[in-house]
Amino acid sequence: MPKLWDETVESHRRVVREAIEDAAWALADEHGLRAVTMAGIATAAGISRATIYKYFPDVESVLAAWHQRQVDAHLEQLTAMSESADDPEQALRSVLGAYAGMIARRGRHGPELAASLHRPGDHRTSEARVDDLLRRLITSRVEAGHVRADIEVDLLVRFCRHALGAAAELHSPEGVDRLVELTLAGLEPEAAGPGSVSRRDEDGQDQAGGDAEDQGEKGGGDGAVACGPGLTDPVRGP
């Protein structure tokens, strides 16, 4: 088969797949998951049911494909943001803000649809890509002295992702923005509480909290991480 023809066929298949996926999502978003049928998708997309079954076996697989397409697009957007920003601090802020916005939109799907689209373990690869992106951004800011160095970067990554997960319960852009600011505050070096070991005076003691025994008494002594105003103990080690 000539390459041009092969590309044309593949392009046509992609257009048909996306038309099916978009029709399914529009129906689910408007009427709820249980109201969506393959016949309804066919009518909405203007495609025969026989054609739809050549691409997808059932409604769930159509919606899963739609959702994965959105996830991939979001990951590309986050990556582009991190690479295009001239200021590393702005890059981190932009990525966290965009990620929180995505989580907030996910929260509007409704419980039944959200449960279908976000089953545990379905998107581990995508989550790992988000973690890698955040890890690079945070490591850069730690090395520059603008993000706290008393906590392992991997824990800071988990903190950011789980803290911003609360955006799913917020209903206004202002609320999402405040959540992002709160998360960023937890990353600041001055947010390090009595348990901090990143700043030491000439005698080897922590300027923020005295000796190690003192720190255990003031910081709880159980591995809690203080992360600034309103963010006490956001994440614990394994």
The Cα–Cα gap between 234 and 193 comes to 13
The Cα–Cα gap between 57 and 53 comes to 6
- Residue 2 belongs to a domain: yes
Tally of structural domains, the chain: 1
Q: What is the CA radius of gyration of the chain?
A: 23
Burial class (CB in 10 A: 0-12, 13-18, 19+), 126: middle
DSSP state string for 139-181: HHHHHTTSS-SSS-HHHHHHHHHHHHGGGGG--SHHHHHHHHH
pLDDT confidence tier of residue 119, bands split at 50, 70 and 90: low
The Cα–Cα gap between 58 and 49 comes to 11
CATH number at residue 48: 1.10.10.60
- Residue 53 belongs to a domain: yes
- Residue 167 belongs to a domain: no
Cβ atoms of 182 and 231 within 8 Å: the answer is yes
- Residue 36 belongs to a domain: yes
- Residue 180 belongs to a domain: no
Cβ atoms of 22 and 66 within 8 Å: the answer is yes
pLDDT 10s digits, 4-46:
445 688 888 999 999 999 999 999 888 888 889 999 999 999 9
pLDDT confidence tier of residue 236, bands split at 50, 70 and 90: very low
pTM above 0.75, yes or no: no
* Lowest-pLDDT choice from 46-50, 114-118, 175-179: 114-118
- Residue 35 belongs to a domain: yes
The Cα–Cα gap between 140 and 89 comes to 9
Q: Which amino acid is at 169?
A: E
For residue 27, the enclosing domain spans: 1-57
